[in-house]
Amino acid sequence: MAKVVIKDSPYNLKKAKILDVKTLTEKEKLFKLVFEDKTWLDFEPGQFIMVSLMGIGEIPVSICSSPLNRHYFEICVRAVGKVTNSLHKLKAGDIIGVRGPYGNGFPIKSLEGHDLLIIAGGLGIAPLRSLILYSIDNRRDFGEIHILFGCKTPGELLFEDEIEEWSKRLDIHFACTVDRADPDWKGNVGLITSLIPGVDIDPLRTYAAVVGPPVMYKFVIKELLAKGLPVDQILLSFERHMKCGMGKCGRCQIQNLYCCKDGPVFTFKEIMDMAEAL
């Protein structure tokens, strides 16, 4: 057997340096990254990267910064297991491996010229933050922008500073809710679905972008359909186990679709008749 180094392997990693780590909640940290070779990560909102800790593992993570930010890119990681817990132990200056970006993100070109209804549940805000920041950076290309954000408790609220800022902006309609309040909470209490009937949208002009835990989708979609949104204007991002990120390993397959390559963002129309999708 001859062994060769293949630099053009699709599994090759680029080294990314952690510029900064910010603790957002008990479970989530925000990592600011740059490639060591000073190249830029060219991506679309909704795309993901594969993040590697050598010897520990590799996981898919959404890019949560604006694609127009040429100085760094960000990921927001919840500690749930082996790789994510190890990531949480890293500090500024440490190096991780990155490959990507992968997948189909939000169809920016179709979204432009339309109103946006962005619905985030919990960590679903991560890929949607990229879309929100992009649409703020290109504010004049979009119509009305509505953001609905929900999480379990006020302590789990991500990106608090930014939310504060978004809620003050005149060109954004922002609403937030928690399932269970604490004594200091002054906002809405209830599931995210309770916010939908109240938003004032023209359904035919509006694209909804929904990302959250799997249980959320069915209920949110029901509300959106009740509002009159066309099925091809409801965008969902799916989470599956992913190993290759390139439509090969088969792990993320939903019938004939590869979540990693054809998704993770799908229109409701693409998957509505598909068993094993929702």
Partner 1 sequence: MKIEQYKLLEKSLLKDFINSLIPIANVYAPVSKGFNNYVFQNIKSADEVSIKYIPTIIPPKKFFLPKKENILQFFIEDELKVEPVTEYENLIIFGVHTCDIAGIKCLNMVLSDKPKDTAYLIRKKHVTIIGIECNDYCDEYASCSFVGAHMPTTGYDLMFTELSEYFIVHIHSSKGMDIIEKTDIFKDASIAQLEELKILRNNKMKIFNNEIPTERRYLPDLFDRSFNANVWKELEQKCLSCGNCTAVCPTCYCFDIKEEVDLTLKAGERYRVWFSCQLDPFAKVAGGHDFRKERSARQRHRFYRKFRYHIDRYGMVFCTGCGRCSRTCMAKINLKEVLTSLIRESEAKIWRKWL
Residue ranges binding partner 1 (CB under 8 A): 1-13, 15, 52, 54-58, 80, 95, 97, 213-214, 239-241, 243-244, 246-251, 253-256, 275-276
Site for ligand FES in 98-137 (CB under 6 A): none
Say if residue 81 is exposed, middle or buried (CB neighbours under 10 Å; 0-12, 13-18, 19+).
exposed
* Minimum distance from residue 203 beta carbon to partner 1 (Å): 30
Question: Which CB, 192 or 252, lies closer to ligand FES?
Answer: 252
Nearer to partner 1, 200 or 276 (CB): 276
H-type helices in 157-208, by residue range? 160-168
Which of ligand FES, ligand FAD, partner 1, none has residue 9 at its interface (CB below 5 to 8 Å by kind)?
Answer: partner 1
Which lies closer to partner 1 via its Cβ, residue 114 or residue 240? 240
81 binds ligand FAD (CB under 6 A): yes
CA distance linking residue 50 with residue 241, whole number of Å: 12
Shortest Cβ 89–ligand FES spacing (Å): 26
Contacted entry of ligand FAD, partner 1, ligand FES, none for residue 77, CB cut-off 5 to 8 Å set by kind: ligand FAD
Q: Which does 33 bind (CB under 5 to 8 A by kind): ligand FAD, ligand FES, partner 1, none?
A: none
Within residues 225-244, the interface with ligand FES by CB under 6 A covers: 242-244
DSSP 131: H
Query: 29 has which bridge partners?
Result: 23, 77
Half-sphere exposure of 89 (CA within 13 A, CB side): 8
The dihedrals phi and psi of 94, each to the nearest 5 degrees, come to -70, 160
Residue owning tokens 């509300």: 223
The beta-strand segments (E) located in 63-139 are: 73-78, 95-102, 115-121
Out of 83, 260, 265, 271, the only residue in the binding site for ligand FES (CB under 6 A) is 260
Task: Select 115 or 239, whichever has its Cβ closest to ligand FES.
Answer: 239
Does position 18 interact with ligand FES (CB under 6 A)? The reply is no
Taking CB atoms, the residue at the shortest distance from ligand FAD is 81
DSSP 199-265: ----GGGEEEEEES-HHHHHHHHHHHHHTT--GGGEEEE-----SSSSS-S-TTEETTEETTTT-BE
CA torsion, ordered 181, 185, 189, 193, to nearest 10 deg: -110
What is the binding site for ligand FES (CB under 6 A)?
Answer: 242-245, 247-252, 258-260
What is the binding site for ligand FAD (CB under 6 A)?
Answer: 48, 57, 59-62, 75-78, 80-84, 123, 126, 239-242, 264
